[in-house]
Amino acid sequence: MIEIIPAIDIIEGKCVRLSQGDYNSKKVYNENPVEVAKEFEAAGIRRLHLVDLDGAKAQHIVNQKILEQVVLQTSLTVDFGGGLKSDDDVRIAFDCGASMITGGSIAVKDEERFVRWLKYYGGERIILGADVRDEMLAVNGWTETTNIELLPFIGKFKRKGLTKVICTDIAKDGMLQGASVDLYRKILNQYPDLYLIASGGVSNIRDIEELEHAGVPAVIFGKAIYEGNIKLSDLKRFL
């Protein structure tokens, strides 16, 4: 059964969504992210992907108080990401109750530090955030595409103890045009024991079913819920 992981993205303390990572496309869906998290919990959801978009822009953790409130006021297992660049950022996130953190740009820009986190906290708690455009890694809030290929990049960290990857196809994110199923199949063909979390493009229940059929272990999505394309009651059979 595919794991269902709704996303809450935070800007200025509010629940928002972007399209293709563009901050100018910001749409506010709720002034109170904790309220949204409680709705997810009431629907039977157990896992949440919480993204500090202010932190991603500022290059350091910003919205740790919201993380803390979500953890204190719900029983959701939270993975937290966005701008985690330093050892202090990661410590703060875990001190505020995150069960896992996601590191993206840091794994590209400071590989040594990311590996150190992997070794210290373990592969169950440190997730690699692999944001890609045409299978090339993108960093710094997706503003910069590198010449680093996705599959060898995953393999390098897998050899260092990585077990979980969130892979986002930037072209799909927030566009409600379907997930990159072929890309995820390709990743799983090479790394069948990887806990791959698909992210970006989910527009309806059929997209989730297609990912499940492809053997993808977990899926993150947000806009499809906020826009009403997927109702929380539709997710019951996956929970």
The residues facing 164 across adjacent strands are 195
Which residues, 6 or more positions from 112, have their beta carbon under 8 angstroms from its beta carbon? none
CB 53 within 8 A of CB 18: yes
Start-to-end Cα distance in the chain: 8
Is beta strand 136-139 parallel, antiparallel or unpaired with respect to 144-149? antiparallel
Handedness of CA 116, 71, 166, 200 (dihedral sign): negative
Q: Find residue 101's DSSP bridge partners.
A: 80, 126
Pick the catalytic residue from 52, 54, 79, 131.
131
Alpha-carbon distance of 26 to 51, in angstroms, equals: 14
Residues 4 and 182: their CA atoms lie apart, in Å, by 20
Catalytic hit among 9, 54, 169, 207: 9
User: How distant, in Å, are the alpha carbons of 107, 137, 147, 162, 218 from that of 195?
Assistant: 18, 19, 24, 9, 8
131 has catalytic annotation: yes
Q: Which residues are catalytic?
A: 9, 131
